[in-house]
Amino acid sequence: MRILLWHVHGAWTTSFVRGGHTYLIPALPGRGPDGRGRALTYDWPANAVEVTPARAAAAEVDAVVLQRPEELHGLAERWLGGRRPGRDVPAVYVEHDAPQGRVGELRHVAAGRRDLTVVHVTHFNDLLWDTGGTPTTVIEHGVVDPGERYGGELPRVAAVINEARRRGRVTGTDLLPRFGAAAPVDLFGIDSEGAGDGRLVTGAGDLPQARLHAEMARRRAYLHPVRHTSLGLSLLEAMHLGMPVVALATTEVAEAVPREAGAVSTSVDTLVDAVRGLVAEPERARLAGKRARAAALARYGLDRFLRDWDRLLAEVGR
């Protein structure tokens, strides 16, 4: 198939484009949000092909994968040369995010559409979003396995949060100093440079994926202090690396992370104690990391993810 999709979520797309299709990636001068083109910090295969608006308009497209409201409301139609997603070209809408706000008011942008399917990345998101009769399905994340690389030689913990300062309480940024009192926290991700006080919390920068994985694996444990976002792919990548995980039991975490993989709780004090214990007991941390990796491979493997997507694309493309 020839599939048009925007480069919106780099880590998720890294897995998606590993399938056996041709992926048409919009590209514009300046590489803004409506035309980022191929990723610069992730390893994408050659079948992820950049297209200009003119090439996209003339291309044979078997399906379009929508990911943002603006794509649903005109952007995709313009790139497709007037063809309408869901009507003239088969379409799905991937919802990456957990909804924010009052539970009774969480109506999805694609609600009420009978000509496309909303694909949620977690069952928690499917539970909370109101899609108003639009067909939905869940395709859980799949991760390109970076290999078991855990060393844990540094008695520190790693956290990966994009725009941690802006997102604040949503991502648990305010909790980082509490964990830093048990073990220094190295914060990676977009706009992490200069974050923290350099003692309890140190901003470690936005690194290319391969280097990020290497740096994460040197830390004793992975910290996931997120209150309310979708299931972070960096958490699953840490588990694949063989890192023990300390995570708030929020959103999909309770399903994704077995307790024997580290610690999962809604009590910050309990999690702070867990960080302290893992840092003090390297062998305990190593065994927990092996359990984390086994759980991640069993549920969030790339092959299962691609099979699920092939099945759905075959259905919508009929």
Class of residue 296 by CB neighbours under 10 A (exposed 0-12, middle 13-18, buried 19+): buried
Q: How far is CA 167 from CA 170, 201, 283, in A?
A: 6, 16, 34
Q: Given this model, what pLDDT does residue 147 score? A: 97
Q: Report H helices in 26-135.
A: 53-58, 69-70, 76-79, 123-128
Neighbours of 308 (CB within 10 A): 16
CA atoms of 302 and 285, how far apart (whole Å)? 25
Question: Looking at the domain 2-142+302-316, which fold is it?
Answer: Rossmann fold (3.40.50)
CATH classification number, 154-299, choose in 3.30.2290.10, 1.10.3720.10, 3.40.50.620, 3.40.50.2000: 3.40.50.2000
pLDDT (tens digit per residue) in 184-193? 999 999 999 9
- List the strands of the sheet with 136-138, edge to edge: 48-51, 22-26, 2-5, 63-66, 91-95, 117-120, 136-138
Q: Given this model, what pLDDT does residue 194 score? A: 86
Asked if the domains 2-142+302-316 and 154-299 are classified in one and the same CATH topology, the answer is: yes
The residue extents of the domains of the chain are: 2-142+302-316, 154-299
0.75 surpassed by pTM: yes
Question: CB-based contacts of 36: which residues, under 8 Å, 6+ apart?
Answer: 6, 7, 25, 26, 27
Q: Given this model, what pLDDT does residue 271 score? A: 98
- Side chain identity, residue 251: T
Residue 198 pLDDT > 90, yes or no? no
Q: What is the mean pLDDT of the chain?
A: 96
When pLDDT is averaged across residues 143-168 and rounded to a whole number, the result is: 96
pLDDT (tens digit per residue) in 96-154? 999 998 888 899 999 999 999 999 999 999 999 999 999 999 999 999 999 999 999 99
Relative orientation angle of helices 268-280 and 282-299, to the nearest 10 degrees = 120
pLDDT (tens digit per residue) in 261-277? 999 999 999 999 999 99
When pLDDT is averaged across residues 27-37 and rounded to a whole number, the result is: 96
pLDDT (tens digit per residue) in 73-85? 999 999 999 999 9
Percent of the chain with pLDDT over 90: 95
The answer to whether the beta carbons of residues 86 and 61 sit under 8 Å apart is no
Backbone angles phi, psi at 4, to 5 degrees: -95, 125
Residue 279 pLDDT > 90, yes or no? yes
